[in-house]
């Protein structure tokens, strides 16, 4: 069983090394490795028993002098994020087929290297290993954005790098402090869970981890790097950042923050929810004013992630289950959104909403796919976005009725600015830029078909995803409540 997890983690790394030394066939080599990774994930999902246990556990000595092990495993929470990663990476690689990137071997090798880092983050049961994966995932996306990004990529990318590195240093300090408090002098996650820290200690640890996670998600006021980075990054980079990488922060809160410092969450969680809800309203209002479609979707992402964050800190089953489903749904939807905008930009050379129009008349297939993706994004019943946001709103409602009033604005506002964007871009009269617009075909059509199918299938039948994480979420909440009882 443990061999499967070792293969899962190291397969993208092997693929990255081989892809780096491949010529023009790099994208095909990368695609093969991403599909094999998806196949391994499917085997793991098929063998997974949906209870609260951690399965496929690997625990090998690594740096024994410091108590560091290569300790990884999969439970219902991490399986959702592993599925998200290994479903989206081949889609993102296929979506990149329409571009002729310079140095394609380096480009696709960096995607696979990032995939390996993400899988380490989502399966690590050792805090040092988690930190290594956290940093390893940052390095490739930095180079992807810095080398293949837009004209302002250097300045924007430096801001992104400084933000994320600063957050990571706070987290590292927190990890070291927990290690020093641990009598076993190791970085094992269960040992950290069992530490008896007083409320003051938990408060400091809360902020050391929360800042790192809040920057990555991002939530207000740690979000300022995001819109510029999403806009300047190449399409694949934006998809990786929005579809998968921001889930590192969400996963970190669920896996590391809540169970280790529940008293810190109890003391400061209300502030975290307030920041999340402010982010929802603020990002939605800013999205209304955007003239650039890519920036509009970037701000929309901040609003949706704000709702996920609020649901998590509500500390109830509905909020956490909603977060699990919405992590998956948001990843699929936002990758679809940015891919459609990339298709439009590749044909018209503009992201300006006012310069477009009438595309549905000349590209009906794209118009239908775009409408399905927008429907999922605005949480239309029957799409994947509905069940997650519904559960999140119930979770926030159980926490505080006034919070849910403002949190619910993400759906209302989102529907307005998303449908308005769709109307301006796809409907109306064609113009000089869109009159010669060609409809999707080949790899473009395949990518959008897969994304639309996922949106509909998960919307109509979300039970398997809910079932996967249910027991693990319930156990996590029980751990948190037990620790709160002992502290109080």
Please check the confidence at residue 449 and state whether its pLDDT lies above 70. Answer: yes
What does the pLDDT look like over 13-25, one tens digit per residue?
A: 999 999 988 877 8
171-199 pLDDT tens trace: 999 999 999 988 888 888 888 988 888 88
pLDDT-based confidence at residue 145 (cuts at 50, 70, 90): confident
CA distance 487 to 197: 8
Mean pLDDT throughout 141-152?
81
What does the pLDDT read at residue 237? 87
Residue-wise pLDDT for 237-283, tens only, equals 889 988 888 899 999 999 999 999 998 888 888 899 999 988 888 88
Please report, for residues 56, 259, 273, 458, 475, the alpha-carbon distance to residue 313 in angstroms, rounded to integers and kept in the order given.
Answer: 29, 12, 6, 25, 16
Q: What percent of the chain has pLDDT over 70?
A: 99
pLDDT higher than 90, residue 232: no
Averaged pLDDT for residues 376-405: 87
- 216-230, 311-325, 367-381, 450-464: which has the minimum mean pLDDT? 216-230
Given a cut of 90, is residue 130 above it in pLDDT? yes
Burial 282-316, CB ≥16 within 10 A → b, else e: bbbebbeebebbbbbbbbbbbbbbbbbbbbbbbbb
C-alpha span between 332 and 326 (Å, rounded): 10
Tokens for 311, please give them.
């649901």
Residue spans per domain, the chain: 2-487
Own/partner long-range contacts of 300-303 (Cβ < 8 Å, ≥24 apart):
300/337, 300/377, 300/414, 300/417, 300/418, 301/226, 301/230, 301/242, 301/246, 301/330, 301/334, 302/218, 302/219, 302/220, 302/223, 302/226, 302/227, 303/279, 303/410, 303/413, 303/414
Question: Contact at 8 Å (CB) between 59 and 71?
Answer: yes
User: HEC string of the chain?
Assistant: CHHHHHHHHHHHHHHHHHHHCCCCCHHHHHHHHHHHHHHHHHHHHHHCCCCCCCEEEEEEEEEHHHCEEEEEEECHHHHHHHHHHHHHHHHHHHHHHHCCCCCHHHHHHHHHHHHHHHHHHHHECEHHHHHHHHHHHHHHHHHHHHHHCCCCHHHHHHHHHHHHHHHHHHHHHHHHHHHHHCCCCCCEHHHHHCCCCCHHHHHHHHHHHHHHHHHHCCCCCCCCCHHHHHHHCCHHHHHHHHHHHHHHHHHHHHHHHHHHCHHHHHHHHHHHHHHHHHHHHHHHHHHHCCCEHHHHHHHHHHHHHHHHHHHHHCCCHHHHHHHHHHHHHHHHHHHHHHHHHHHHHHHHCCCEHHHCCCHHHHCHHHHHHHHHHHHHHCCCCCCHHHHHHHHHHHHHHHHCHHHHHHHCHHHHHHHHHHHHHHHHHHCCCCCCCCCCCCCCCHHHHHHHHHHHHHHHHHHHCCHHHHHHHHHHHHHHHHHHHHHHHHHC
Residue 304 pLDDT level (bands cut at 50, 70, 90): confident
Per-chain mean pLDDT for the chain = 88
Q: Are 269 and 311 in contact (CB under 8 A)?
A: no
Q: What does the pLDDT look like over 157-178, one tens digit per residue?
A: 778 888 888 888 999 999 999 9
| pLDDT for residue 488 | 57
The number of angstroms, rounded, from the C-alpha of 265 to the middle of its chain's C-alpha atoms is 22
pLDDT exceeds 90 at position 12 = yes
**pLDDT tens-place string over residues 26-80:** 889 999 999 999 999 999 999 988 888 888 989 888 888 888 889 999 998 999 9
- Across the range 409-430, mean pLDDT stands at 85
Whether pTM exceeds 0.85:
yes
Mean pLDDT for the stretch of residues 289-303: 88
CB–CB of 314/477 below 8 Å?
A: no
């Amino acid at each position: 069983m443990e061999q499967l997890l070792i293969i899962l983690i190291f397969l993208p790394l092997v693929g990255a090394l081989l892809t780096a030394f491949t010529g023009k066939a790099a994208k095909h080599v990368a695609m093969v490795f991403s599909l094999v990774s998806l196949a391994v994930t499917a085997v793991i999902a098929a063998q997974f028993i949906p209870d609260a246990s951690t399965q496929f556990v690997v625990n090998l000595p690594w740096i024994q002098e410091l108590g560091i092990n290569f300790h990884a495993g999969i439970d219902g929470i991490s399986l959702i994020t592993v599925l998200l990663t290994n479903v989206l990476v081949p889609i993102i690689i296929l979506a990149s087929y329409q571009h002729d990137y310079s140095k394609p071997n380096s480009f696709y090798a960096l995607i696979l290297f990032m995939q390996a880092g993400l899988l380490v983050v989502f399966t690590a049961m050792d805090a040092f290993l988690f930190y290594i994966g956290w940093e390893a995932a940052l390095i490739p996306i930095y180079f992807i954005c810095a080398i293949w990004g837009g004209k302002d990529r250097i300045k924007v990318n430096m801001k992104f790098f400084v933000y994320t590195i600063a957050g990571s240093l706070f987290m590292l300090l927190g990890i070291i402090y927990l290690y020093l408090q641990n009598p076993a002098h190791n970085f094992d996650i269960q040992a950290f869970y069992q530490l008896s820290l007083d409320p003051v200690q938990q408060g400091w640890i809360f902020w050391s981890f929360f800042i790192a996670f809040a920057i990555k998600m991002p939530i207000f006021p740690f979000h300022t790097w995001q819109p510029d980075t999403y806009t300047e990054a190449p399409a694949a980079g934006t998809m990786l950042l929005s579809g998968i990488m921001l889930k590192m922060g969400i996963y970190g809160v669920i896996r590391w923050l809540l169970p280790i410092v529940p008293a810190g969450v109890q003391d400061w969680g209300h502030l975290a929810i307030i920041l999340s809800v402010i982010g929802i309203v603020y990002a939605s209002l800013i999205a209304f004013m955007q003239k650039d479609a890519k920036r509009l979707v970037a701000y929309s992402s901040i609003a949706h992630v704000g709702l996920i964050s609020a649901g998590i800190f509500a500390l109830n089953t509905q909020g956490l289950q909603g977060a699990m489903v919405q992590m998956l749904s948001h990843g699929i939807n936002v990758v679809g959104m940015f891919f459609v905008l990339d298709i439009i930009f590749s044909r018209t050379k503009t992201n300006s909403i006012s310069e477009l129009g009438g595309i549905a008349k000349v590209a009906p297939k794209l118009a239908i796919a775009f409408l399905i993706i927008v429907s999922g994004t605005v949480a239309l019943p029957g799409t994947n976005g509905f069940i997650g946001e519904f559960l999140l709103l119930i979770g926030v409602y159980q926490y505080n009725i006034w919070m849910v009033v403002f949190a619910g604005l993400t759906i209302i506002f989102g529907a307005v600015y998303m449908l308005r964007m769709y109307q301006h871009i796809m409907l109306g009269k064609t113009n000089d830029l869109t009159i010669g617009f060609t409809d999707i075909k080949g790899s473009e059509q395949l990518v959008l078909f897969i994304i639309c199918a996922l949106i509909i299938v998960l919307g109509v039948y979300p039970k398997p995803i809910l079932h996967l994480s249910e027991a693990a979420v319930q156990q996590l909440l029980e751990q948190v409540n037990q620790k709160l009882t002992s502290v109080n």
